[in-house]
Structure 1
Amino acid sequence: MMWSSAIATLTSGIFLLAPGAIASPLKTQGARLVINADFPDPSFVETPEGTWYAFGTNGNGKNVQVATSNDFATWTLLDNDALPNVAAWETNNNHWAPDVIRRNDGKYVLYYSGEAKALLDHHCVGTAVSVGTDPAGPYIPSESPLSCPLDQGGSIDPAGFQDVDGSRYVVYKVDGNSIGNGGDCNNGVEPKKPTPIMLQRVAEDGITPIDGPVAILDRDDNDGPLVEAPNIIFKDGTYYLFYSTHCFTDPNYDVRYATSKSLRGPYVKTNERLLKTGDWGLTSPGGGTVCPCGDRMLFHGFCEDNKRCTYVAQVNLADGKVNLL
């Protein structure tokens, strides 16, 4: 995700997104550009009416960007900020990697990474609830963050998950590389800090933690300085944990996955680079979010210097394996 603020955000105008080359993501081959604007770390949610809403890291003058689509193929960037006002614990800068889920009461919960006033350049996982039932917002932030282990580097990249029994969880990354010893993404110099992926159960409201978080994955030498951008999907008895490795500015940045028969793990890394630089002309693809339906993904990649566009890919999950179609 956006560990460093060195990547500039774009602030010019409203963008008409996604060339009409895509008829449907379920009929495409490979990855296709769908948001031709700086829209990193995309996540998405579908309304009961079948409209899709995507959310991206700060840019275009917004804390949380929003785009919408009726077919998952042609997207329009909206001229509104999903999080126009922030909580007292955070600054107005660097809101990263938002994710949205729909509650049973029809309202939506926004998870995001906000910069902590208590330790600048470090982040905590914040939550916010929609004023009404419009997923585009606005959202009202909670008074306290959901996760804020600043002594471990803080926390970023939250994503909601609802298990088959209806219980709700949030998965996120402890941002250990933010207190690393330098080098690649500040964690390329020994001793390297852990960057564990954590699983936190929450109440039906989507924001109240139940018990403490548990670690379900961490970096190893094959992952470079970090693992991040987690996203969990359950299908046919298997939990699929998607994540990215290496630094987001590195050509080695990618999308990988691990699997488990239990939500709490252990998760076994396949070390398969599901998306990597060079595939379909992509550069540093990462931040992949897979639909709970298990057939489509949004992710970002560099499309120009300092500009990360959003792409779509069709996926197939079967027998513990993930294939791009």
Structure 2
Amino acid sequence: MRNLARAATVLLGSSMVVAVAAGPAAAAEIPTGARSLESVNLTGRYIRHSDYLGSVAAVTSSSTAQLKSDATFTVTPGLAGGAGCVSFQAANGMWLRHRDFRVRLETNAGTATFLADATFCVRDGSVSGSVRLESSNYPGRFLRHRDNQLWVDPSTTNPGTFAADSSFRVTTPWVAGRRSPVIKGLYGDPNIAYLNGRYYIYPTTDGYAGWSGTRFKAFSSTDLVNWTDHGTVLDLATQVDWSSGRAWAPTVAYRNGRYYLYFCGDTNIGVATSTSPAGPFTDALGRPLIAAGFRSGQMIDPAVFTDDDGQSYLYWGNGYAYAVPLNADMISFDPARVTTFGLPNFREAPFVVKRNGVYHMTYSVDDTRSENYHVEYATSTSPLGPWTHRGTILSKNLNLGIKGPGHHSIVQAPGTDTWYVAYHRFAIPAGDGTNREVTIDPLRFGADGMIMPVVPIL
């Protein structure tokens, strides 16, 4: 990315974050992460929120910590999508949006109107290195300051000063940003995998009441720090005939030159295929692979494990844990071979890895809307059990503001004994069970070969 306003080097496995200040962002571009935005014609005044209303205010090195925080936003890909569009999240978890053209701070309601109101498309500013922010749902209206308040106004108003009033320099943030979330924005249920020379994450698109989203996205990285957004790889609303919503918890597998995306739609499990891990994916069956009501509990939260002999197993379940060997085509199985597991405290999201001949079954406990949502695990000498319970490996840490960590997945760095766990938690600081964010932490094994408790890093 060109002329980053702030570069950050993050070492997974430690709390070290090294930030290096640089020049302003290139025209028509705002890097994701923590940023502050300075007015080009009111030098020293920055976009901030006060009493939940957007304004521009003077900020200096001697300003209060609260004022500096109010003038710092996490830039994310636009909540409503769109190339070159972004959204702005404040430290309290709320988002800048316009309502009746006044810019204010509000909690993400997950509605199409809110997502569009909170999305701004980046345009060239009036001076070199500055940007303008055009409303995604009111083209021709730009975020601008008027009497120090923030509005979205048409460019025909005050034409003599409008371009400058709506232009901002992207600067080093007044408050340093966190390492995580690794994917900027609201996502849950991340499936992480190493595919074709890159790490990929496939999450649930979050921020919708009742988890009612329809789209699955993919993100990729070579270093687990800098992530490329590949956009929507499958949309239930337009690409799947048998389901139109509740797009949850995708997982991916590779075999014979094709990638297989197993996904939830309206509490069924489907499978889609692609020749690229970045999609697009196409529904493979025209019907669910596992239909709602196939067994007790909800038919959700698929995960695939492929053993050393090449046999792949599909795991899933909510309330009850299931597994079955997949056929070689990866899109069918023998129902007579479905196994039901007895796992202490099991709620959902089973995920299996193998290390030194031991199978590690990890799974989520409690409800994703609860701050007590957490991950426990068990071991076996077989991919189908029986399983020996080993306790909790990931749980909340209120001292760090971490609530509800779970619905995880695990990846091994290729050619090493280095492992990472991706999981969601309540968005910090004001998230909940439908406003979650994705992070990654090291996963370590003890001298006894068992998984050690995960130490979260902010």
Please give the range of the TM-score, normalised by the shorter of the 2 chains: 0.7 to 0.9
Give the distance between the partners of 2:364 and 2:301, measured in 1 at CA: 11
Question: Do the aligned residues in 2 keep the contact of 1:62 with 1:81 (CA within 8 Å)?
Answer: no
Count, aligned residues? 269
For structure 1, which segment, 266-275 or 75-84, has the greater mean C-alpha deviation from structure 2 after superposition? 75-84
Give the distance between the partners of 2:399 and 2:312, measured in 1 at CA: 34
State whether structure 2 residue 339 is matched by structure 1 residue 214: yes
* Aligned partner (choices 378, 381, 400) of residue 258 of structure 1: 378
Q: Deviations over 1:213-258 (max 9, x none)?
A: 101234x5xx3xx511111000011100111100111111011211
Shift of 1:196: 1.5
SS at match of 1:317: coil
State whether structure 2 residue 215 is matched by structure 1 residue 63: yes
State whether structure 2 residue 457 is matched by structure 1 residue 322: no
Change (3 A) 1:55 1:124: same
**Partner in structure 1 of residue 234 of structure 2:** 82
Question: Do the aligned residues in 1 keep the contact of 2:206 with 2:436 (CA within 8 Å)?
Answer: no
**Partner in structure 2 of residue 295 of structure 1:** 419
Shift of 1:100: 0.8
State whether structure 2 residue 305 is matched by structure 1 residue 161: yes
Question: Do the aligned residues in 2 keep the contact of 1:300 with 1:311 (CA within 8 Å)?
Answer: yes
**Partner in structure 2 of residue 185 of structure 1:** none
For structure 1, which segment, 151-160 or 307-316, has the greater mean C-alpha deviation from structure 2 after superposition? 151-160
Q: Which has the higher contact order (CA 8 A, sep 6+)?
A: 1
For structure 1, which segment, 301-310 or 242-251, has the greater mean C-alpha deviation from structure 2 after superposition? 301-310
Give the distance between the partners of 1:317 and 1:22, measured in 2 at CA: 26
Shift of 1:275: 2.9
Shift of 1:166: 0.8
Shift of 1:274: 2.4
Give the distance between the partners of 1:286 and 1:148, measured in 2 at CA: 25
Unaligned runs of 5+ in 1: 1-18, 116-122, 176-194
Q: Deviations over 1:255-302 (max 9, x none)?
A: 121111111111122222423243743111011101145610110001
Q: CA RMSD in A?
A: 2.5
Unaligned runs of 5+ in 2: 1-5, 17-178, 208-212
State whether structure 2 residue 270 is matched by structure 1 residue 126: yes
* Aligned partner (choices 51, 55, 64) of residue 198 of structure 2: 51
**Partner in structure 2 of residue 196 of structure 1:** 320
For structure 1, which segment, 273-282 or 226-235, has the greater mean C-alpha deviation from structure 2 after superposition? 273-282
SS at match of 1:255: strand
Shift of 1:59: 4.5
Equivalent residue runs for 1:1-325 within 5 Å: 21=8, 23-25=10-12, 32-48=180-196, 50-59=197-206, 63-83=215-235, 85-90=238-243, 92-103=244-255, 105-115=256-266, 123-130=267-274, 132=275, 134-141=276-283, 142-150=285-293, 152-173=296-317, 175=318, 195-210=319-334, 211-218=336-343, 220=344, 223=345, 227-278=347-398, 280-293=400-413, 295-303=419-427, 304-305=430-431, 306-318=434-446, 319-323=448-452, 324=454
Paired letter, 1:311: T
Q: Deviations over 1:161-216 (max 9, x none)?
A: 1011110111101x3xxxxxxxxxxxxxxxxxxx1211111022221113431012
* More strand per residue: 2
Instruction: Compare CA radii of gyration and give the structure with the larger one.
Output: 2
Change (3 A) 1:241 1:279: farther
Question: Do the aligned residues in 2 keep the contact of 1:40 with 1:300 (CA within 8 Å)?
Answer: yes
**Partner in structure 2 of residue 118 of structure 1:** none
Q: Deviations over 1:122-147 (max 9, x none)?
A: x11111111x2x21211111223222
Give TM-score, length-normalised by structure 1.
Answer: 0.75
Paired letter, 1:114: G
**Partner in structure 2 of residue 191 of structure 1:** none
Change (3 A) 1:135 1:83: farther
Change (3 A) 1:26 1:51: farther
Change (3 A) 1:149 1:62: closer
SS at match of 1:155: coil
SS at match of 1:81: strand
